[in-house]
Structure 1
Amino acid sequence: MTATYDDIREALLGAALPHVPFDGWSEATFAAAVADSGTDPALARAVCPRGALDLALAAHARGDRAMLDRIAAEDLAAMRFRDRVAAAVRWRIEAAGDREVVRRAVTLFALPQHAAEGARAIWQTVDAIWTALGDSSQDYNWYTKRATLAGVYSSTLLYWLGDTSEGSVATWDFLDRRIEDVMRIEKLKASANANPLLKPMLALPNWVLGQIRPPAADRTAGYPGRSAPRG
């Protein structure tokens, strides 16, 4: 049976992970992964043309898949929505694996030349969370929800990297506080829109924001999105 590109990438990633804590997501790690996995170097480069960067992104995507599997397997019906969001973020961080591997990825994506890839990876994570939890936003809220959750996820991940508490309990307490902050902001927005004194002043901004649409369902339209069609 012929191995697919995905199979080869997974083999390379598995071979790379033991080297990442020592050499980071570097060309040295990529070369070691090629050697340890027994992959032909030309084929490895065809599968991962950007070397270790592609493997770091593959590791991130693997974590997203593990989180989605956990969401699908859990019974969320009895949970408040805020608790579902918090649980999804927690499961995603738990799926991240070795802290040093994640720390090296954070360092990689902090580099100016890779910052856009890092931001895109985080956006894909929070989009996956909202989509899995049934978000049906079709206006600017599609963006604000993801932007807000991206901040929550990123700050919680950084907190987790330095957390030495038993079972990472301090991280989960930090996450709960961040989610509570978000819910407080959402309540303030709802109160402002319902306020009869503020409602006239917010009518035009809300109309303008209401013309914004999320990307096409297949995401081929790209980001940041599109305006509502006239007619």
Structure 2
Amino acid sequence: MTDLPNGMDEIKDRLLDAALMHVPFDGWSEAAFRAAIADAEIEPALARAACPRGAVDLALAYHARGDDEMVRRLAETDLSALRMRDRIATAIRFRLETVDDKEAVRRGATLFALPQYAADGARALWQTADRIWTVLGDSSDDVNWYTKRASLSAVYSSTVLYWLGDETPGAHATWEFLGRRIDGVMRFEKFKAQVNGAKLLKPFLIGPNWLARQIKPPHKPAQMGLPGTLKPQGAE
């Protein structure tokens, strides 16, 4: 066998590269994981150490790799002249364009639809939305931190499902679908602003708005996942 690279991340990368040849046929399965171990020429014990849950961990690594590439492309692109809705659309488009083989994504959607892996799939979607908002400079520090990511997770997941079945040249239909979904979110946000600005409703919104301001985002989203923290009493 060849010499192994240093670090579990490198081992996982090698396993992922090898597994992608088998996923279209075997899915993100134990069979694909074992084939990747053999093709990458890695000791099974080391492979299991790097990926304790086997192919599930590789599927999550594949998703994270796509997020990394999206962030890299966004960092290299001047978005300053774009409206926020167009920046979001660009980010989602970049994310989907990182995919070389739709079947790997389709197999991943099947895997994370299973009840035992649904939480992993939801967390991966949330992390994608969080990375998009972070790179776009979101500075929200209350309940809006959560609502923005929840809305974007819904837009992204529905767009992925549409894109998987889209056979139009250049995925033209997908980008039109994405535009409609973002427009829907923007209309809802405009409606929320109108409700909050309505003078007759302001007395009824004092309590809910105060509570919303007390909800704080995680200090370390990448490490802490979804939960938020309440602002301590007496804090400014």
For 1:10-89, list aligned pairs within 5 A: 10-89=13-92
Structure 2 contact 89–178 (Cα < 8 Å) conserved:
yes
Q: CA deviation at 1:108?
A: 0.3
Question: Is there any run of 5+ residues in structure 2 with no aligned partner, and where?
Answer: none
- 1:157 is the counterpart of 2:160: yes
Cα distance in structure 2, aligned partners of 1:82 and 1:12: 37
Cα distance in structure 1, aligned partners of 2:28 and 2:224: 30
Question: Is there any run of 5+ residues in structure 1 with no aligned partner, and where?
Answer: none
> Alpha-carbon deviations, 1:65-116, whole Å to 9, x = none?
0000010000101111110011101111111331111000000000000000
TM-score by length of 1: 0.97
- 1:210 is the counterpart of 2:206: no
My pick for the range that moved more, 30-39 or 189-198, is 189-198
TM-score by length of 2: 0.95
Structure 2 contact 5–11 (Cα < 8 Å) conserved:
no
Cα distance in structure 1, aligned partners of 2:49 and 2:109: 25
- Paired residues in the alignment total 231
For 1:91-130, list aligned pairs within 5 A: 91-130=94-133
> Alpha-carbon deviations, 1:14-43, whole Å to 9, x = none?
000010010000000000000001011111
Instruction: Tell me the percent identity.
Output: 61
Cα distance in structure 1, aligned partners of 2:145 and 2:7: 35
- 1:134 is the counterpart of 2:137: yes
Q: Which residue of 2 aligns with 1:201?
A: 204
Cα distance in structure 2, aligned partners of 1:114 and 1:154: 16
- 1:227 is the counterpart of 2:230: yes
Cα distance in structure 1, aligned partners of 2:62 and 2:223: 23
Q: Which residue of 1 aligns with 2:150?
A: 147
**2:133 partner letter:** W
Runs of 4+ with deviation above 6 angstroms: none
The root-mean-square deviation of aligned C-alpha atoms, in Å, is 1.2
